[in-house]
Amino acid sequence: MVKARRPSSKRYIYVVLPLAILGVWLWRFLNNPGATDLQTILQNLPKEVSQSIDSVSQQKQDATIVEMFEKLSVDLLQKQDEQLRKFEKERRALEKRIQDLRQPATHATLREKLAHMFEYRASQRFPAFVWQTWPYSDTDDRMDSSLQAFERHWGDKNPGFVHEIINDDTASALIHYMYASIPEVLDAYDILPSTNLKADFFKYLILLARGGVYADIDTDPLQPVPNWIPENVSPKEIGLIIGIENDANNPDWKSSFVRRLQFGNWIIQAKPGHPVVREVVARITEITLQRRSDGELRMNLRNDLNIMGWTGSGIWTDVVFTYMNDYVQSGILSKITWKEFHKLDVPKLVGDVLVFPQTSFNAPDKDIKDKNKALHFARHSGLKSWKAAPKVAEEN
């Protein structure tokens, strides 16, 4: 009979020893109050497993953070848009309230009303507007191809500007809105006997209220508006930019012009509320109302001199010289006459009025050699639309 063999003691060692170690580890783990901490558990795991868990956890955390930021960004943009719309609505309401509060005193003179409603701030920038007038819409068939090209050129050469073509109906609506608190101006505008006189008056009215550039529809820009101001002159020093219309060399100039030297009004750049523009608005208003009182509203509108002296370059020239010779307004001590601008070939700053040579806003049609070609800013066709007006006999 064969006796059963006893298990080897080594086998017991191989089985019992790991179990003992595991038991000790579990006893320490269960009795360690900090062992439940995730970081402690991870430290006791094999290095590769720990790194894998860390990587997955980090990716999830990053994805969560990105998602949170995206949602936050969308929420912020929505809130910003809502805030902007709210601010714009409040701005418009505030602007309307300010306009209502800026009502001039009932006892104020015409000039006091204009100065109160349209304050002049010399340090402000020239507004980026280009204003033009045309009796009909800019797509009307009656605007020929050359005028359509000129109109496009103003927009193309000044992309940062607001370019507006104002027809007769829109002009009337704008004037009645902007000058609602100055009935004398509205009265004068409404009783002007022709659309051409109203178009002339409109250019001053829009420049006084809004500023910017006014350009007749028959002008063709050669350079952008920002190029007009010389580099050695600060825009803050300038409030009005004009050009010479005529510098007479012949003795019979009175047959064609009101003044020997006249400033043009087919292109004007002004800051809102400028005193020269304000004064010409006041004078045209007074002259028109006086003509009605005297029964002289009807006149021959085909006569250049009548237009020039009423709303055109004649009265414009007189007001400019009056301003230059008013020390309180212009700061000029010496007397300024037409001789100051006779044969002018470079820009001249008088007070805050920058005057350009005759060819600056009436450049030659052909590309000629001219040492002052850099000062050629626009061409003027001089269509004189009032020539088509019916001839009216002047009343005695």
Q: At residue 315, what is the residue type?
A: I
Find where tokens 């005695």 sit: 396
Could you tell me which residues come within 8 angstroms of residue 313 by beta carbon, excluding any fewer than 6 positions away?
A: 245, 258, 262, 263, 264, 265
- Pick from 78-82, 94-98, 234-238, 262-266: least confident: 94-98
Could you tell me which residues come within 8 angstroms of residue 307 by beta carbon, excluding any fewer than 6 positions away?
A: 196, 197, 200, 301, 386
Q: What pLDDT score was predicted for residue 365?
A: 80
Question: Can you list the domains of the chain with their CATH numbers?
Answer: 107-388 (3.90.550)
Residue 63 CA, distance from chain mean position: 45
Contact 278, 118 (CB under 8 A): yes
- Pick from 133-142, 156-165, 278-287: least confident: 133-142
Contact 118, 273 (CB under 8 A): yes
| CA distance linking residue 213 with residue 236, whole number of Å | 16
Tell me: pLDDT of 166 over 60.
yes
End-to-end CA distance of the chain: 165
Could you tell me which residues come within 8 angstroms of residue 189 by beta carbon, excluding any fewer than 6 positions away?
A: 172, 175, 179, 198, 201, 202, 205
H helices of 194-259, in order, are 195-209
Nearest to 359 by CA among 270, 280, 250, 267: 267
Count CB atoms within 10 A of the CB of residue 253: 16
Q: What pLDDT score was predicted for residue 136?
A: 78
Three-state SS annotation for 54-103: HHHHHHHHHHHHHHHHHHHHHHHHHHHHHHHHHHHHHHHHHHHHHHHHCC
The first and second tokens of residue 51, run together, are 């790194």
Contact 148, 217 (CB under 8 A): no
Q: What pLDDT score was predicted for residue 71?
A: 84
The first and second tokens of residue 291, run together, are 């003509």
Q: What is the pLDDT of residues 254-309, one digit of tens each?
A: 888 989 999 999 999 999 999 999 999 999 999 999 999 999 898 777 777 888 99
Helix (H, G, I), strand (E, B) or coil at 267: strand
Q: What is the pLDDT of residues 41-81, one digit of tens each?
A: 555 555 555 566 566 677 777 778 888 888 888 888 888 88
Q: What pLDDT score was predicted for residue 249?
A: 84
Percent of the chain with pLDDT over 70: 78
Three-state SS annotation for 148-190: HHHHHHHHHHCCCCEEEEECHHHHHHHHHHHCCCCHHHHHHHH
The more confidently predicted of residues 17 and 381 is 381
The more confidently predicted of residues 9 and 280 is 280
Q: What pLDDT score was predicted for residue 187?
A: 98
Q: What pLDDT score was predicted for residue 31?
A: 59
| Mean local confidence (pLDDT), 230-234 | 93
Per the prediction, the chain carries an average pLDDT of 84
Nearest to 351 by CA among 241, 247, 206: 241
- Beta partners for 378? 221
Predicted TM-score (pTM) above 0.75: no
Q: How confident is the model at residue 2 (pLDDT cuts 50, 70, 90)?
A: very low
Phi–psi pair at 197, nearest 5 degrees: -65, -40
Phi–psi pair at 124, nearest 5 degrees: -75, 165
Q: What is the pLDDT of residues 345-368, one digit of tens each?
A: 999 999 999 999 999 999 988 766
| Mean local confidence (pLDDT), 22-49 | 56
Q: What pLDDT score was predicted for residue 271?
A: 98
Q: At residue 222, what is the residue type?
A: L
Q: What pLDDT score was predicted for residue 305?
A: 84
- Pick from 100-104, 278-282, 332-336, 382-386: least confident: 382-386
Q: At residue 149, what is the residue type?
A: A
Q: What pLDDT score was predicted for residue 157?
A: 97
Tell me: pLDDT of 184 over 90.
yes
| Mean local confidence (pLDDT), 13-17 | 57
Q: What pLDDT score was predicted for residue 250?
A: 83
